């Protein structure tokens, strides 16, 4: 990890740059695969599954028998853990339900807003070296609470042509409609255009690597919505002398082990804390099964010393971290002052892992600075707000002349006429 002391503000942008490829580097590949899936459907899906996942599948749909077998292979202890996480996530997201908003804006003019579920959604669940069954819970639970009619899950198959037992158990627990063994760009393309085996959906959710992120962005050009631009994982910890350096190191490594393109950053007002965390990282990383991945991510990460908390907060808001951990005596300053973060973890005993798995909050969050404008996944992500209005004769008599004047001023005579005809009819009677 690189130690940086008191960086000048003009250098912040360069120092805080993510270790990701530009869209131009990978967009050509994504576009090519999209075109093939659009024109060749499942044949193109099979081609790229063979190429990228190294497996040829006779059928990429997960059967009921496969699900039942997978459920039998998950230990009872893990089932209990997953069910407990399910309950916490369900409680937190169910609490996000809101009532209908209804108001009479003026006598006889009634306006209201109601929420409706997005009918068809696609969930992308990364597999590979770390099959994220926890992401199934994070996406399928709020979809179920929202009332989405069709929930399609795509996840890359292993070399043996299977999906992790834990993913299938979680998907069954959450009531997923259909599970397809397909990953990467081709999965996003399949959900975008639809094939014989993969239903076309209205919105795609789920994290992934940079190729998946660009594929999701390309899907929006074809009329499919996405949750957010979510790419490689990232974490920023702010810590002073009140923090525990071993805890901080463990949090940094928890994100570093996600992938070689992950990024972790420590911002501190204490040089001693920085030194102690660096030592703890060196010790803990050697104990990790995924240490080679973590070491690559750590090589792209920073330890930044700043003079005071005010500077730290300004720098953190500029970086806009996906995950933000606060371990500081000046906790309130950071809690109240943070405006750009995906999810915030407060205090020495609130590890980021809690949000990743089981506290109840959602772990599908905007990365690469997108939390300046995007929220993490929540119940509203699976809902649309529809506005309604009803106007009585009395209401139109009062409101109509206002509409007529505004429409005439904009030169839109047909708009004015739609009101005038009704007013004439009311006045006639």
Instruction: For residues 207 and 67, state if they share a domain.
Output: yes
Residue with tokens 């506005």: 387
27-31, 309-313, 413-417: which has the minimum mean pLDDT? 27-31
Instruction: For residues 278 and 333, state if they share a domain.
Output: yes
**102 catalytic per annotation:** no
Catalytic residue among 36, 234, 257, 322: 322
Helix (H, G, I), strand (E, B) or coil at 179: strand
- Asked whether residue 133 is domain-assigned, the answer is yes
Catalytic residue among 36, 166, 257, 323: 323
- Asked whether residue 295 is domain-assigned, the answer is yes
Q: Percentage of the chain surpassing pLDDT 70?
A: 99
CA atoms in the 13 A half-sphere facing the CB of 95: 8
Instruction: For residues 137 and 246, state if they share a domain.
Output: no
Structure-derived torsion over alpha carbons of residues 249, 77, 176, 30, reported in degrees to the nearest 10? 30
- Asked whether residue 208 is domain-assigned, the answer is yes
- Asked whether residue 379 is domain-assigned, the answer is no
The total number of structural domains in the chain stands at 3
- Structure tokens that stand for 268 in this block: 């501190």
**Which residues are annotated binding-site positions for substrate?**
233, 255, 258, 323, 356, 410, 415
How far apart, in Å, are the Cα atoms of 282 and each of 244, 259, 273, 288, 378?
Answer: 15, 18, 14, 11, 36
Instruction: For residues 75 and 114, state if they share a domain.
Output: yes
Instruction: For residues 7 and 97, state if they share a domain.
Output: no
CA atoms in the 13 A half-sphere facing the CB of 330: 16
Instruction: For residues 248 and 194, state if they share a domain.
Output: no
Instruction: For residues 208 and 249, state if they share a domain.
Output: no
| pLDDT greater than 70 at residue 21 | no
Write down which residue in 305, 334, 360 finishes a domain: 360
- Provide mean pLDDT across the span 113-129: 93
Of 364, 390, 237, 396, nearest in space to 312 by CA: 237
Structure-derived torsion over alpha carbons of residues 52, 58, 60, 62, reported in degrees to the nearest 10? -130
Instruction: For residues 58 and 203, state if they share a domain.
Output: yes
| pLDDT greater than 80 at residue 424 | yes
Write down which residue in 342, 360, 378 finishes a domain: 360
- Asked whether residue 341 is domain-assigned, the answer is yes
Binning the chain into helix, strand and coil, the percentages to the nearest 5 are 50, 15, 35
Write down which residue in 230, 261, 294 finishes a domain: 230
Note the pLDDT tens digit of each residue in 267-299: 999 999 999 999 999 999 999 999 999 999 999
Residue 12 sits in a domain whose CATH number is 3.40.50.1980
Instruction: For residues 203 and 97, state if they share a domain.
Output: yes
Instruction: For residues 92 and 209, state if they share a domain.
Output: yes
* Alpha-carbon span 252 to 258, nearest angstrom: 11
**323 catalytic per annotation:** yes
Contacts 24+ apart (CB under 8 A), 69-73: 70/163, 70/164, 70/165, 70/168, 70/169, 71/165, 71/168, 71/169, 71/172, 73/165
Note the pLDDT tens digit of each residue in 174-214: 999 999 999 999 999 999 999 999 999 999 999 888 899 89
**Which residues are annotated binding-site positions for NAD(+)?**
124, 186, 209
The CA R_g of the chain, rounded to the nearest whole Å, is 25
Instruction: For residues 248 and 220, state if they share a domain.
Output: no
* Predicted pLDDT of residue 20: 65
**Which residues are annotated binding-site positions for Zn(2+)?**
255, 258, 356, 415
- Provide mean pLDDT across the span 215-228: 96
Instruction: For residues 196 and 321, state if they share a domain.
Output: no
* Alpha-carbon span 260 to 233, nearest angstrom: 10
- Asked whether residue 366 is domain-assigned, the answer is no
Structural domain of 413: 394-428
Query: What is the number of other CB atoms lying within 10 angstroms of the CB of residue 393?
Result: 14
- Asked whether residue 114 is domain-assigned, the answer is yes
**Which residues are annotated binding-site positions?**
124, 186, 209, 233, 255, 258, 323, 356, 410, 415
- Asked whether residue 373 is domain-assigned, the answer is no
């Amino acid at each position: 990890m690189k130690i940086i002391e008191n960086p000048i503000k003009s250098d912040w942008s360069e120092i805080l740059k993510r270790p990701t490829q530009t869209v131009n580097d990978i967009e050509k590949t994504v576009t090519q695969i999209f075109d093939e899936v659009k024109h060749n459907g499942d044949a193109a899906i099979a081609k790229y599954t063979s190429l990228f996942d190294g497996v040829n599948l006779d059928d990429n749909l997960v059967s009921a028998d496969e699900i039942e077998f997978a459920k039998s292979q998950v230990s009872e202890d893990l089932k209990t853990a997953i069910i407990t996480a399910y309950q916490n996530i369900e409680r937190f997201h169910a609490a996000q339900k809101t009532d209908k908003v209804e108001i009479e804006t003026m006598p006889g003019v009634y306006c209201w807003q109601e929420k409706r579920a997005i009918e068809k959604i696609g969930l992308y669940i990364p597999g590979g070296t770390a099959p994220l069954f926890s992401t199934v819970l994070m996406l399928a639970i709020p979809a179920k609470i929202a009332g989405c009619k069709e929930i399609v899950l795509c996840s890359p198959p292993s070399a043996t042509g299977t999906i992790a037992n834990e993913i299938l158990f979680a998907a069954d627990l959450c009531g997923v409609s259909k599970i397809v063994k397909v990953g990467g760009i081709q999965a996003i393309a399949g959900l975008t255009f639809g094939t014989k085996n993969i239903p076309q959906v209205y919105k795609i959710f789920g994290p992934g690597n940079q190729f998946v992120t660009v594929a999701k962005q390309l899907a929006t050009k074809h009329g499919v919505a996405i949750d957010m631009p979510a790419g490689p994982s990232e974490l920023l910890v702010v810590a002073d002398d009140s923090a525990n350096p071993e805890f901080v190191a463990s949090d940094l490594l928890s994100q570093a082990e996600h992938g070689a393109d992950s990024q972790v950053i420590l911002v501190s007002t204490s040089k001693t804390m920085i030194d102690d965390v660096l030592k703890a990282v060196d010790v803990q990383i050697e104990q990790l099964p995924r240490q080679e991945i973590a070491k690559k991510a750590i090589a792209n990460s920073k330890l930044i010393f700043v003079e005071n908390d005010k500077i730290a907060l300004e720098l953190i808001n500029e970086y806009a971290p996906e995950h933000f951990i606060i371990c500081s005596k000046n906790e309130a300053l950071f809690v109240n002052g943070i405006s750009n973060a995906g999810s915030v973890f407060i205090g020495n005993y609130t590890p980021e892992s809690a949000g990743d798995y089981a506290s109840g909050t959602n772990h599908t969050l905007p990365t690469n600075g997108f939390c300046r404008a995007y929220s993490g996944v929540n119940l509203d992500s699976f809902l649309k707000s529809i506005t309604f209005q009803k106007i009585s004769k009395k209401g139109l008599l009062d409101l109509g002349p206002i509409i007529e004047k505004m429409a005439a001023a904009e030169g839109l005579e047909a708009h004015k006429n739609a009101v005038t005809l009704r007013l004439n009819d009311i006045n006639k009677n």
